[in-house]
Chain A
Amino acid sequence: MRDVAFSTLEQLGAAATDSEGAFQMDEEAFRLFYERTARPVWAYLSRMSGNARLADDLLQETYYRFLRANVAHESDAHRRNYLFRIATNIVRDHRRRPRMDQSRLADGHDAAEPIDPQSADAAAGAVRRLDLARSMARLKPRERDLLWLAYAQGSSHKEIAETLGLKTASVKLLLFRARQRLARFLREGVR
């Protein structure tokens, strides 16, 4: 049994080496890129899916699809946008899939943030974030994507259009409307 297990591990190790040829970058380049992007992508996936634990799985899927995509990137910014585009599509696919834990997605506030209860600032921050999560959950998925990319990620209208598959000209108006709605929900939450 033990021999079989070792043999399997060896095969998997060899497989890993062979499969590197199928990826668009080598391991070292990937490590550098991952260290720069993993946290923002995880934050995006977490807030867009409304589920921090699910974000871990979606993160793995995002980077897998990124590595397998045979796309030439003209710049690092382009590469990052492409990564967010994949993440957006993965969250969309996930939303379309009927799931047992859909209620968690609808709630949109499964952040499970570790908060120091003795800190008033931390508590106030947690309340604000809970308000934001609830307000975001009331928005349409595309509105959430738009707002996060624009104001959390700092993407330009052109980058948002590329990521979400929209026309650049329509991003401004869609963003304005989404912003109005979220601002209203946030104020309602505060009251």
Chain B
Amino acid sequence: MSGNECPREADILEAIAFGRWPDGCGDLSAHAASCEVCADLVEVAVALHDDRTALCREAQPPSSGMVWWRATIRARAEATRTATQPISVLQGIAGACVVGAAAGLVTIAWQSMHWMDRIGELAMRLESRRADIATASTFATGHGLPILVAVAAGLVLAPLALYITLADD
């Protein structure tokens, strides 16, 4: 027997656990009164054993059905969250792409404003060459019908050709 144990501890614990303490444990009780290790053991084990018994008696845990139901609902919610995580990532990427495209459009619009300046310059040049344009207009007026037919045919045939090409694919 060392300073922190006693060979009779197991007997005392058993008596307490099975509710035989202290009645019917005359010999053990006498030992516990004289053994410091066992005295501590009795003090603590009786208090904890009684406390557990009282707590178990008072406990009003929810029904197993309720615990099961809550657990299943939570499991499903977690599964849904796990499943939708990649979708959320993709949505984030898509959002970033939209922002990038918008930024690109703004840049293009900004550049097109410079182009408008150039168109203005072109109009100025055309103004200076009005005589040449008048000659060209006279030519167009003379051959107006064939040009109109050619443009109309182009407008009708181009989508048709595109449709036929895609339909074959």
Query: Which of A17, A43, A46, A147 has its CB near the most chain B CB atoms (within 10 A)?
Result: A43
Q: How far is the CA of A132 from the CA of B53 in the complex (A)?
A: 14
Task: List chain A residues, Cβ under 8 A from B16.
Answer: 151
Contact size class for A? 35 or more
Q: How far is the CA of A65 from the CA of B49 in the complex (A)?
A: 27
Q: How far is the CA of A17 from the CA of B67 in the complex (A)?
A: 14
Q: Which DSSP category, helix, strand, loop or mixed, fits chain B's interface?
A: helix
Task: List chain A residues, Cβ under 8 A from B5.
Answer: 172, 176
Over the window 40-53 of chain B, the binary record of Cβ atoms lying under 8 Å from chain A Cβ atoms (1 yes, 0 no) is: 11011101111110
Task: List chain B residues, Cβ under 8 A from A80.
Answer: none
Task: List chain A residues, Cβ under 8 A from B124.
Answer: none
Q: Which DSSP category, helix, strand, loop or mixed, fits chain A's interface?
A: helix
Q: How far is the CA of A38 from the CA of B67 in the complex (A)?
A: 10
Residue B75, interface by CB 8 Å? yes
Q: How far is the CA of A3 from the CA of B52 in the complex (A)?
A: 47
Task: List chain A residues, Cβ under 8 A from B79.
Answer: 19, 22
Residue A167, interface by CB 8 Å? no
Chain A residue at minimum C-beta to C-beta distance from B65 = A31
Over the window 33-48 of chain A, the binary record of Cβ atoms lying under 8 Å from chain B Cβ atoms (1 yes, 0 no) is: 0110011101100110
Q: How far is the CA of A67 from the CA of B73 in the complex (A)?
A: 13
A42 touches B59 (CB 8 A): yes
A59 touches B61 (CB 8 A): yes
